[in-house]
């Protein structure tokens, strides 16, 4: 049983801020061109974390409200993004955002949807969206094969990760997203994304993951030793490539009215 998802990253915020990847700018272009989202549309970023996805839309000129239940992560987003005039944050969840009825044009959730109660989120998104509003869900899906580093990193997580398999299996695939959107499913896309990481950054990236055992856990030191060995065997010019597919799904909410 996974412990409370809203608190999983509380003691990993510093690593999350420094070492988690952003998302390709093509995600915003996809919203504008493929999904017809206006360039001034009001955005609600649900499960906004430290603000990585919110920043992507703020930089494109959108007003964004970052909805995040974890206090430490929300405060990190406030520190990082507070200078943007269109930014504000709210202490809420996907199922209870605290936002007003029909108050936003676009709902996004990046690297967060797999923690939501799916039906509760669907009802809440339908409530806060304006008529014809859009939902966009996207993930950086780490590639697990294709290079010795990627394959070795996946083997490391399988061996040392805490509840790794349970978390990994929660990510939505094409079929799951089609089911969730139902008749409202309209668009999907995949964009390449990558980070070049030296060893310290690779270690920070690993420790930003909720399933990485922390200091004091019997797997922690063996995991870091294995990471060092993997890095030394696969690095080129002092870095490794941490590669992703950024998967994007978009559509409208088709929710039956409650009685």
Domains observed in the chain: 5-142+170-194+244-251 (3.40.50.150)
Instruction: Output the pTM of the full model.
Output: 0.87
Specify the pLDDT at position 168. 59
Residue 169 has pLDDT above 80, yes or no: no
Using one digit for the tens of pLDDT, what is the confidence trace for 204-240? 999 988 889 999 999 999 999 999 999 999 999 999 9
Higher pLDDT, 112 or 98: 98
Question: Which of 3, 18, 10 has the alpha carbon at shortest distance from 75?
Answer: 10
**Position of tokens 């996974």?**
2
Residues 6+ apart with CB under 8 A from 5: 115
Using one digit for the tens of pLDDT, what is the confidence trace for 31-85? 999 999 999 999 999 999 999 999 999 999 999 999 999 998 999 999 999 999 9
What are the two backbone dihedrals, phi and then psi, of residue 204, each rounded to the nearest 5 degrees? -65, -40
Specify the pLDDT at position 18. 82
CB 211 within 8 A of CB 167: yes
Name the CA dihedral angle for 184, 168, 190, 248, rounded to a multiple of 10 degrees.
30
- Beta carbons within 10 angstroms of residue 196's beta carbon: 13
Residue 17's alpha-carbon distances to 5, 12, 112, 165, 209, in angstroms, are: 18, 9, 15, 24, 12
Using one digit for the tens of pLDDT, what is the confidence trace for 177-205? 999 999 999 999 999 999 999 999 999 99
- Beta carbons within 10 angstroms of residue 225's beta carbon: 11
């Amino acid at each position: 049983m996974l412990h409370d998802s809203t608190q999983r990253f509380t003691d990993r915020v510093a690593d999350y801020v420094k070492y988690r990847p952003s998302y390709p700018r093509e995600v915003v272009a996809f919203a504008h061109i493929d999904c017809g989202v206006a360039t001034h549309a009001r955005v609600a970023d649900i499960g906004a974390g430290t603000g990585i996805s919110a920043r992507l839309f703020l930089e494109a000129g959108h007003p964004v409200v970052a909805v995040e239940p974890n206090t430490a992560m929300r405060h990190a987003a406030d520190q990082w993004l507070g200078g943007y005039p269109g930014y504000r944050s709210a202490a809420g969840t996907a199922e209870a955002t605290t936002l007003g009825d029909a108050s936003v044009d676009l709902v996004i959730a990046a690297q967060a949807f797999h923690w939501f109660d799916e039906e509760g989120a669907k009802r809440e998104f339908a409530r806060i969206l304006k008529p014809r509003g859009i939902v966009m869900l996207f993930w950086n899906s780490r590639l697990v094969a294709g290079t010795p580093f990627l394959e070795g990193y996946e083997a490391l997580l399988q061996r040392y990760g805490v509840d790794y398999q349970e978390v990994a299996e929660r990510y939505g695939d094409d079929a799951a997203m089609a089911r969730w959107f139902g008749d409202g499913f309209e668009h999907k896309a995949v964009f390449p994304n990558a980070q070049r990481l030296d060893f310290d950054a690779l270690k920070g990236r690993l420790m930003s993951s909720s399933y990485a055992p922390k200091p004091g856990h019997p797997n922690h030191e063996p995991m870091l030793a294995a990471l060092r060995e993997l890095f030394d065997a696969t690095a080129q010019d002092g870095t490794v490539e941490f590669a992703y597919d950024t998967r994007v799904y978009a559509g409208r909410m088709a929710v039956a009215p409650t009685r």
